[in-house]
C-alpha cells in the first residue's frame, strides 16, 4: 500500500501556498489539478492532473492512494469538485479542510451590482453597458459567443480550441497577478463601461475591482456558491495549524 498522504485540490494561488507549506521530506502529499490550462508552476510534490470521474470515483481514489486528509483549496466557484470532495471524504471517512479566501467587501466608491449567476450578469451588462470586460473564465465564454448586445472583452489564461469565437468581442490572454495600473490601462484602452466578475476574494485578481472603483465603473458581481459544512479556514497559516493538528493525531 502507498504511504499515507495528504491530498491538496488545487488550481489557485492559495493552493500553491498551502502546497509549499505542506511539502517536506518524509511527508507524502499529492497536488491535484483539473488540467484545463498549463500550470504556471508546480509544487514540489506528486502532481496528478484531470478529473477523478465523480464523487464515488474520488472516494475510491482516496482509499486506493491511502489519502488520510484532504485540503480543498480550489476556487470558490469550483462548486462541482468541492461537492464531490465533500461526499467522497464523508464516504471514505477522511478529514476535509476547505481553504478559501473570504469574499471581497465593497469599499466606498465601489459600484457593485449583485447578481445570482452568469446569465443574469450578462443580461444586466446588456442593460447598462456597451463595452464589457468579462473575467469569469473560459468555460463561461459559450454564453457570450453569439450575444451582440455588448462588445465583450474576455480575459483568459491562454488560447485554446475550447474557446468559441466571440461574434461581438475579443480575447486578451494573460495570467495573474494583475495590478491596479495594468488593469487601469486595460479598462481605459478598451473603453470598457462595465466589468463582470466573480467574488474570488483573491489579492491576485483584485486589481480590476480597484481599477473599476477608480474609473467609477459598475462591477456586476456574481454571487458565490453556498459553502459546505466542512471545517473552513481562510489563510495558509490556519491551514498549516489544521495540518499540524491532524499530523499529531
Nine-digit cell at 156? Answer: 483568459
In the bound state, the residue with its beta carbon closest to ligand NAP is 51
Minimum distance from residue 48 beta carbon to ligand NAP (Å) = 7
C-alpha cell at 94: 477522511
Min dist. Cβ of residue 69 to ligand NAP (A): 16
Cell 489557485 identifies what position? 12
Nearer to ligand NAP, 80 or 214 (CB): 80
Distance between CA atoms of 170 and 163, rounded to whole angstroms? 11
Minimum distance of ligand NAP from residue 72's CB (angstroms)? 8
Q: Tell me the closest approach of the beta carbon of residue 108 to ligand NAP, in angstroms.
A: 27
Strand partners of residue 113: 220
Binding positions for ligand NAP, rule: CB under 6 A: 9-12, 32-34, 36, 51-54, 58, 74-75, 77-81, 84, 137, 139, 198
CB of 46 or CB of 214, closer to ligand NAP: 46
Residue number with CB closer to ligand NAP (39 or 214): 39
Q: How far is the CB of 110 from ligand NAP (least distance, A)?
A: 21
Report the relative pairing of strands 96-99 and 231-233 from DSSP bridges. Answer: parallel
CA atoms of 249 and 242, how far apart (whole Å): 11
> To which H or E segment does residue 7 belong?
strand 5-9
Task: Decide: 193 and 132 in contact? Cβ < 8 Å.
Answer: yes
Diameter over CA atoms, the chain: 59
Amino acid at each position: 500500500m502507498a504511504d499515507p498522504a495528504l491530498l491538496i485540490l488545487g488550481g489557485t494561488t492559495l493552493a500553491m501556498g498551502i502546497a509549499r507549506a505542506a511539502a517536506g521530506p518524509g511527508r507524502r502529499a499529492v497536488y491535484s489539478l483539473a488540467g484545463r490550462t498549463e500550470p504556471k508552476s508546480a509544487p514540489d510534490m506528486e502532481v496528478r492532473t484531470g478529473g477523478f470521474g465523480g464523487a464515488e470515483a474520488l472516494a475510491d481514489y482516496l482509499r486506493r492512494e491511502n489519502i488520510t486528509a484532504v485540503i480543498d483549496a480550489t476556487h470558490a466557484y469550483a462548486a462541482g469538485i468541492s461537492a464531490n470532495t465533500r461526499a467522497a471524504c464523508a464516504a471514505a471517512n477522511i478529514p476535509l479542510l476547505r481553504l478559501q479566501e473570504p469574499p471581497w467587501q465593497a469599499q466606498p466608491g465601489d459600484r457593485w451590482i449583485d447578481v445570482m449567476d452568469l446569465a443574469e450578469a450578462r443580461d444586466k451588462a446588456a442593460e447598462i453597458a456597451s463595452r464589457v470586460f468579462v473575467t469569469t473564465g473560459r468555460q463561461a465564454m459559450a454564453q457570450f459567443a453569439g450575444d451582440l448586445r455588448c462588445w465583450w472583452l474576455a480575459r483568459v489564461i491562454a488560447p485554446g480550441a475550447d474557446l468559441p469565437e466571440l461574434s461581438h468581442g475579443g480575447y486578451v490572454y494573460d495570467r495573474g497577478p494583475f495590478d491596479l495600473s495594468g488593469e487601469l490601462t486595460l479598462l481605459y484602452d478598451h473603453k470598457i463601461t462595465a466589468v463582470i466578475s466573480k467574488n474570488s476574494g483573491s489579492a491576485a485578481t483584485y486589481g480590476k475591482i480597484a481599477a473599476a472603483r477608480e474609473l467609477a465603473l459598475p462591477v456586476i458581481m456574481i454571487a458565490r456558491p453556498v459553502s459546505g459544512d466542512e471545517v473552513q479556514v481562510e489563510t495558509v497559516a490556519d491551514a498549516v495549524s489544521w495540518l499540524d493538528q491532524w499530523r499529531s493525531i
